[in-house]
Amino acid sequence: MSISAYVISVTIAVIAAIGYPGIFLLMMLEGMLLPIPSEVVMLFGGYLVATGGLSGAVGIPAVLILLAAGTAGNVTGALVAYMIGKFGGLRLLVRYGRYIMIDEKSIQRADRFFSKYGGRSVFTTRLIPIFRTFISIPAGIAEMNIGTFTMYTALGTTIWNILLVYIGMTLGKNWNVVLPYFEYFTYIAAALILVAFLLWLRSALRRRTTSRLGKLSGVRDDR
């Protein structure tokens, strides 16, 4: 059994065993950057709602409880990741960032970026596989306003979950046929991350080369 198939089977088993608390737990772990696929959690949850595997309570429809559990779990996990970035990530970058060509100016640029585009970037990335979880760390490092972060995270996550639950309820027992398509999106997202990293690396190398040439030129002029 492949790792992805094992993760899917464990995810389904947890939901089948403990229902809504399992959905909250799994979505929280995904928000904390652990490899739990929200696609499986919410698609399977939608299927269970459609077939009566998950039921409502105190007059609240099962689909609303499912969405609340999934969204609350994901936002909770995202806040944990945000705090890790805020209270641990910045110190690590300041101390060790120079070894991977991240200096204080780079950190300041990230801070300005999140001050200007933070809300929009957090919202839009919640709708993209891979990006949707990793955005929490840089948001914490940049110390983005936590209220704004929480609001956009909740909004983006809710839309994402509604889409997945709707698909799961519509497809019923065939809920898993769309998983390969989400894998394709994951590959595309990973490729975009790689391209962005390579562009950043090239830019960083050019800045470092320019800086060194400037220093050498200054030394020669002094002579």
pLDDT beneath 70: ranges in the chain: 1-6, 89-118, 129-131, 175-223
- Which residues on adjacent β-strands are paired with residue 60? 57
Both tokens assigned to 67: 């969405």
State how far the Cα of 55 lies from the Cα of 11, in Å rounded to an integer: 19
Both tokens assigned to 176: 């898993």
Q: Cα–Cα distances in Å, from 21 out to 28, 64, 70? A: 10, 14, 9
State how far the Cα of 172 lies from the Cα of 149, in Å rounded to an integer: 34
pLDDT of residue 100: 45
Delimit the domains of the chain by residue range: 3-177
State how far the Cα of 82 lies from the Cα of 141, in Å rounded to an integer: 8
The alpha-carbon radius of gyration of the chain (Å, integer) is: 21
pLDDT of residue 60: 92
Q: What is the pLDDT of residues 169-186, one digit of tens each?
A: 888 777 666 666 555 555
pLDDT of residue 1: 46
Both tokens assigned to 102: 């991240």
pLDDT of residue 150: 94
pLDDT of residue 99: 52
pLDDT of residue 26: 93
- Which residues on adjacent β-strands are paired with residue 57? 60
